[in-house]
Every structure is written in C-alpha cells, then in structure tokens.
Chain A
Amino acid sequence: MRFAVLQFPASNCDQDCVHAVRSLGHHADLVWHKDGSLDGFDAVIVPGGFSYGDYLRCGAIARFSPVVVALQRFAAQGGLVLGICNGFQILCEAGLLPGALVRNRSLQFRCEQVFLKTASQNSPFTSLTPDARPLKMPVAHGEGCFFADESTLKELQENQQILWQYCDAQGRLTEESNPNGSLLNIAGICNVSRNVAGLMPHPDRASDSVLGSTDGRFIFESMVAALQQKRAA
C-alpha cells in the first residue's frame, strides 16, 4: 500500500510517520504542501508538528495549502485519511472533521504517555485493535483539548464517531487520565463516512519497541487491512 505523508513548513513528525509505515512493510512518500495531487496514493497521513508556527490558530494556515485542497477531493472520494496531533488540528480547521482543538485546560504543554480506550472498533482505524485493551502512546501538545457544541457531541456519540478516549491503565475514563481537558475524554474521532480520522496522541511514536510501545501499529495495521479488503472487493 502507498501512504502519502504530508509535509508543511514546520511539520516535525513527518519522518516518524514515514518510518512507522515503512517498518510495517508498506510504501510511504513525503508530499510537500504545495503539491496539488494525491494521485496514486491509497491513504494519507497528516503528521504532527507546528505547521506555520501555529500562527493565528493551529492548522489555520495549513488548511489552505494546495495539498489540502487535493486532500478534500481524496476524502470526498472515500480515501483513507489519518490526522495525528497537528494533523488532527488541520483536519478540523479544514472541516474534514467536526469540532476544534483548543488550549489544554491546565495551560501546560503535556508531553507524556497516555492510555487510550478504543471506543469503537467499527472503523478502518480501529478494527484490528484487541478488544478492551488500552493502548499506550505518547502525547505532546499544548492545544489538544477537543471541543464541540452540545449537538455535535450528541451526534458524535450517536454515530459512534468517537474512536479513542483517554483512560487509565485499567481502561477507566477518569479526569486524571485526561491530559488536556477534552470533552468526554475524546482523544480522537472520525467523520460520518468513517474514512477520515484524527487523534491527538502519536501512534507514529508508538510503533517501535525502542520508543516504549508498539500499540500505535494497531492503527496503521487496521488501515492496511481496510485497504486490502477494498482492493480485494
């Protein structure tokens, strides 16, 4: 499978994403933000970082790049898109995912391992996650608090669009396990069509045992499985 990893000025997890995909035996190519085409790719990863210095708002400027225009088309055609950290912020700014990410409630930049409960296995990003097993992966963000108004939150719950929630090591959703104050402990969501997802934690930094966890692989492997299923159909 061919993964595109987008690169904006000041993206800094692009290489981590490329490494994670390649270590699973698949192709990964960096695509510069000025590129207007995503032809030939099976999936797109929007990586973490501080694109455009987080000027104005995180992801506010990146979302108008030519590559994001191409991404809108790619997503509309059902292509698989995963936004990680700044990538999640960009997808929300671009309207590809609902809600927004705001400043962490503690006002601290939180850089630590968290546990994630997979709230729905019904998606191309979570299908291969072992049942009920909290995933361990790092967060590193200052603006990761997920916010959406009441009606949007209700929709997310009704449509099972919440994919990951912060939990403790036993899988319990607690306030202490929430590093940023996100509503409903939301760490990541998907769109209604379930082909676009975003999360604040870094599966790209939890795909190599030397980094302390390989739980991030479940997310990439789920994507590959979904793509293989689509190809076989």
Chain B
Amino acid sequence: MPSSKSQPLAVPTPIIRMKAKVTITPKRAVLDPQGKAVQNALEHLGYSGIGAVHVGKYLEIELTGSNPEECRPKLDEACRRFLSNPVIEDYKLVIE
C-alpha cells in the first residue's frame, strides 16, 4: 500500500473570555465640580492631607476573542468613538 503523507492536525485558535476595564476621567482642563464637592466633603469628614479629587467612570466589558492585544484596536476605537467623549474625557483601557 502506498504510504500517504499525514497532514499535521490544524489546531484551532482557542477562543478565550476576557474582560476589558475602561476608566474614564474628566480632562484636567474641564472643571470638575463633582470632584471638588467630594474633596470638600472628605475634608469636612476629617480626612487630612486630601488633595484634588476627580470623579470619573468605570466600565467592565466582558468579551470573547483570541487574545487581549488582538482586541485592543477595536476596543480603543470604541473608547474614542463612544464610551468616552475625547473633548472632555480621557480613558485608560486594560484588557485581561
């Protein structure tokens, strides 16, 4: 019987569950009266050494994909386009 060359088995790329953690904060140039109010309240509560406070937003996005770095460009785009308003906010994206 002629021997047949065996094909290597194709290993499918595993799909993994990831979590994108997006932190959105007001730009420094934007007045943050909420942050100021919280700062004042902390001082009134007796906490000393309190400096400026900035109140932002935190989002957790569960997603599936092959690996975190592959998902990053799309998530960055979502952050710039929708999840944050670049006129008034900065964002930080961590994918685990």
Q: Which residues of A contact B (CB under 8 A)?
A: 56-57, 60, 64, 92-93, 98-100, 102-107, 145, 147-149, 181
Q: Which chain A residues lie closer than 8 Å to B82 at the CB level? A: 56, 60, 64
A sample of 14 inter-chain contacts (CB < 8 A) reads A56-B82, A60-B82, A92-B87, A93-B85, A100-B88, A102-B31, A103-B34, A105-B33, A107-B33, A107-B34, A147-B31, A148-B87, A149-B87, A181-B31
- CB interface residues, B 18-34, toward A, < 8 Å: 26, 29-31, 33-34
Cross-interface CB contact of B87 among A99, A103, A104, cutoff 8 Å: A99
Smallest beta-carbon distance B55→chain A, Å: 10
Cross-interface CB contact of B85 among A98, A100, A149, A181, cutoff 8 Å: A100
In whole angstroms, what is the CA distance A86 to B88 when docked?
17
Contact B29 A149 (CB under 8 A): yes
Smallest beta-carbon distance B8→chain A, Å: 45
User: Of residues B33, B37, B87, which shows the largest number of chain A Cβ atoms within 10 Å of its Cβ?
Assistant: B87
Smallest beta-carbon distance A195→chain B, Å: 21
Tell me how many residues of B have a C-beta within 8 Å of chain A.
12
**Interface assignment of B83: CB less than 8 Å from any CB of chain A:** yes
Q: Which chain B residues lie closer than 8 Å to A145 at the CB level? A: 31
Q: Do most interface residues of chain A lie in helix, strand or loop, or is the interface mixed?
A: loop
User: Chain A: which residue is nearest B88 at the CB level?
Assistant: A100
Smallest beta-carbon distance B81→chain A, Å: 9
Q: Which chain B residues lie closer than 8 Å to A92 at the CB level? A: 87
In whole angstroms, what is the CA distance A145 to B30 when docked?
10
In whole angstroms, what is the CA distance A106 to B31 when docked?
11
Smallest beta-carbon distance A100→chain B, Å: 4
Q: Which chain B residues lie closer than 8 Å to A148 at the CB level? A: 87
Cross-interface CB contact of A102 among B30, B37, B83, cutoff 8 Å: B30
Q: Which chain B residues lie closer than 8 Å to A99 at the CB level? A: 87
User: Of residues A57, A92, A106, A107, which shows the largest number of chain B Cβ atoms within 10 Å of its Cβ?
Assistant: A57
Q: Which chain A residues lie closer than 8 Å to B37 at the CB level? A: 107
Contact A147 B33 (CB under 8 A): no
In whole angstroms, what is the CA distance A56 to B87 when docked?
15
Contact B87 A105 (CB under 8 A): no
- CB interface residues, B 30-54, toward A, < 8 Å: 30-31, 33-34, 37
Q: Which chain A residues lie closer than 8 Å to B30 at the CB level? A: 102, 147
Contact B34 A57 (CB under 8 A): no
In whole angstroms, what is the CA distance A107 to B37 when docked?
9
Scoring B residues 54 to 96 as 1 if CB is less than 8 Å from chain A, else 0, what string do you get?
0000000000000000000000000000110101100000000
Contact B83 A56 (CB under 8 A): yes
Q: Which chain B residues lie closer than 8 Å to A104 at the CB level? A: 33
In whole angstroms, what is the CA distance A216 to B31 when docked?
30
- Whether A105 contacts B88 in the complex (CB less than 8 A), given A56-B83, A60-B82, A64-B82, comes out as no
User: Chain A: which residue is nearest B29 at the CB level?
Assistant: A149
